[in-house]
Structure 1
């Protein structure tokens, strides 16, 4: 029996019981049962039917709800594994492949200068892998740990800014977060936090001694839960070609996350003028 049929039976059985009882009473039992006694027997009859029939239906309904809940949890777990696998493939596995290529180059280096350059490149790739591993672990924790709704959301935003200040690269950070905590669902909070974290991670990877601002505002006149968030830094920036170059896994992952949520994402960067990452629920050209 389907979930829909169970709900309809639970709704209709008491009504049909009363209707059938009234018909039988007036058609056949009225000479034998007084009106007052019939009125007393009606709720008793409904109670007996409820105990015998509806209790079993409610039990089946609870079992179906438990099965649906387990299916949701299983689906959520599967989605998180897929997400982690994608991040491992896009970032870490490709970096490790690049590392193996550079190790081969190191074996064939014939001059001290060539060895030095290749060694520096290997160190850079190792640092990149390390940052990708940290990012993947952070994303996994943010997805599987307690829901963001269970703790102060603004505290988590300030924690990201504090991590950046404590990174040791001469960073300063300010937060202007005006988006109400209850404006987004738990999933939206997790994905938005992951994008903001990735934007800050890119700052740490590609620039030093920069001032970073993290801001988020509700859209005026927009639907409930609409927002416009900005992560901007005053670092050295990059050309447009560099932003889309191979190895820029962070930007690609931010775009994928935004696309999955139906959000708009724009990355603007100019050399020596810094980088600006914008996320919004509406097309950014209209904001």
Structure 2
């Protein structure tokens, strides 16, 4: 029902109902229903009809407010992403480039002096800078990427996997439900950040050949979902691994920010990073 029709219904229906009741009251019920009680009954009927007709209008207004809030939030996030991308490029990326030039100059001088040990150290530093530069450029690209895909998390994930894994030789597959779960803009941002961290760890440490990304949700409960990133790599000891080094603290914090729970299982057959968020109310569980 359009907004215009709802407004006309709100004007006409209560008047018609009250008019009919008053007609019946003063004809058929004239000697049955006392005047004072009739006035109260009229008021109750009027309030009930208005509340019933207004329900659709109020629901539409509530939905519009929610959509507007989501749009403002998405716009604010997009502006912040652009600001961060500029800051990373203008400050950190330029500093890395300058450091690379200085190291190259120092290496040239070390070659002239025949300081092989120093040359080896500078080569290691250069490799580290290249890795940092590559990760930084990838982060800048992700921040500047157009996020009309805020509304389509599936396309955004598939595009990221194709760009990030194809060049590494890793194969991947992404599995999503036919009925997409209810995931807000802020939740999408955090989930995508968890995916990026997990993929970075796989590429650097897992020696994997295949990656599977899945999003599951019970059809009867779209506020509940399970997001998983799985690989077939060598795994690691979750009880003794350097948590900060593997970025697990960052992923756990992101999961907590959206009311989710991070779980990491790892062994010789691979690693699985899972984020589970239970919805409100009762629903089918798959965990």
TM-score using structure 2 length? 0.54
Does structure 1 conserve the Cα–Cα contact (< 8 Å) formed by 2:214 and 2:228? yes
1:280 maps onto 2:276 in alignment: yes
Which residue in the other structure is 1:262 paired with? 259
**Residue 230 of structure 1, aligned match among 214, 228, 231:** 228
Deviation at residue 133 of structure 1 after TM alignment = 3.0
Q: Kindly tell me the number of residue pairs found equivalent between the two proteins.
A: 230
| Residue-by-residue CA offset, 1:114-167 (whole Å, 9 max, x unaligned) | 421342233123323322331343144264666327xxx3x4444444335522
1:244 maps onto 2:244 in alignment: yes
SS at match of 1:173: strand
SS at match of 1:235: coil
Deviation at residue 231 of structure 1 after TM alignment = 0.8
1:172 maps onto 2:171 in alignment: yes
| Residue-by-residue CA offset, 1:39-68 (whole Å, 9 max, x unaligned) | xxxxxxxxxxxxxxxxxxxxxxxxxxx9x9
Q: Where does the alignment leave 5 or more consecutive residues of structure 1 unmatched?
A: 1-10, 20-65
Q: Where does the alignment leave 5 or more consecutive residues of structure 2 unmatched?
A: 1-9, 19-63, 280-285
Alpha-carbon distance between aligned partners in 2 of 1:252 and 1:211, rounded to the nearest angstrom = 24
SS at match of 1:243: coil
1:210 maps onto 2:241 in alignment: no
SS at match of 2:222: coil
Deviation at residue 75 of structure 1 after TM alignment = 5.3
Does structure 2 conserve the Cα–Cα contact (< 8 Å) formed by 1:233 and 1:276? yes
TM-score using structure 1 length? 0.54
Q: Provide the alpha-carbon RMSD of the alignment.
A: 5.2
Does structure 1 conserve the Cα–Cα contact (< 8 Å) formed by 2:84 and 2:143? no
